């Protein structure tokens, strides 16, 4: 499918890698990011098909304006990749309401805004792909990341439910659940009442590269998968939690104990 692509949170990590992969496949790509310096640097590195735009995905009007302008400039919008997200971690009672609002505003409503704007231009054009970056935390419990997991579960539910509606207009909707990808998001996560460095140091698996993640995402879209788990661990955990959730109870409790073990002396929740 020819046409332009918008990737939110495109300045780095998974967003940048997906933007690069789409440009390689002949699409004109807009890397949209609140950090315009990161988006600009990535666009310049990826070549003439890639441009940068500053975007706050919590601003519905701004998202709509960018989508409409991109569709008008390039003739059609073929891909909308709703990737922008923020991390928040810590025990439930150490996570403040401001953290909850931020997690939901960016991780959920940012996706809602992107879906609404994209559908409005894709329906009349007869098709397109909407790719919502959720998380492994959207497929199974994540003690110590309750606010983040709640938002990502919502993204999965949004995507799978919208998928049936959008299909009537030739638009495919996909929920991507990456798992552990080496993007540096842990460094930008808001850690509340816990020593994040110690938690990260204890993660027993190695993440895949953003480029590998992008490859899996595009293959999943090509195969029209509703849910696209990226890593083998995420895929296994998803299957086990669906069919034998009792098997994972000890795993989730062990994760909860990790956060409790590395709790800081005082909560820094707002």
The separation between CA 47 and the C-alpha centre of its own chain, rounded to angstroms, equals 24
Between the CA of residue 183 and those of 12, 33, 69, 235, what are the distances in Å?
8, 15, 29, 19
Answer yes or no: 241 catalytic: no
CA terminus-to-terminus distance, the chain: 46
Instruction: Name the token pair of 42.
Output: 């990535």
**What does the buried/exposed string (b/e) look like for 149-184 if buried means 16 or more CB atoms within 10 Å of the residue's CB?**
bbbbbbbbebbbebbeebeeeebbbbbbbbbbbbbe
Provide the 10 A C-beta neighbour count for residue 227.
18
**Radius of gyration of the chain measured on its C-alpha atoms:** 18
Out of 17, 23, 27, 148, the active site residue is 148
Active site residues: 148
């Amino acid at each position: 499918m020819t046409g332009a692509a918008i990737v939110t949170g495109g300045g780095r990590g998974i967003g940048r890698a997906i933007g690069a992969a789409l440009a390689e496949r002949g699409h004109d790509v807009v890397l949209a990011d609140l950090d315009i310096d990161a988006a600009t640097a990535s666009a310049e590195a990826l070549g003439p098909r890639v441009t940068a735009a500053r975007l706050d995905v919590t601003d519905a009007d701004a998202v709509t304006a960018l989508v409409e302008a991109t569709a008008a400039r390039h003739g059609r919008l073929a891909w909308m990749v709703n990737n922008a997200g923020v991390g928040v971690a810590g025990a439930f009672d150490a996570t403040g309401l401001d953290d909850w609002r931020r997690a939901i505003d960016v991780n959920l409503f940012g996706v809602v805004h992107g879906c609404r704007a994209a559908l409005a231009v894709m329906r009349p054009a007869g098709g397109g792909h909407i790719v919502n970056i959720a998380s492994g935390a959207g497929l199974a419990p994540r003690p110590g990341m309750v606010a983040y997991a709640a938002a990502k579960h919502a993204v999965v539910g949004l995507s799978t439910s919208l998928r049936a509606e959008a299909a009537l207009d030739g638009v495919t909707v996909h929920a991507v659940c990456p798992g552990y990808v080496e993007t540096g998001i842990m460094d930008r996560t808001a850690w509340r009442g816990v020593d994040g460095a110690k938690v990260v140091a204890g993660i027993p698996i190695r993440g895949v590269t953003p480029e590998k993640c992008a490859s899996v995402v595009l293959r999943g879209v090509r195969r029209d998968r509703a849910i696209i788990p990226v890593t083998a661990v995420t895929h296994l955990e998803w299957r086990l939690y669906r069919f034998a959730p009792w098997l994972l109870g000890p795993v989730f409790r062990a994760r909860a104990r990790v956060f409790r073990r590395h709790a800081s002396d005082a909560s820094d929740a707002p």
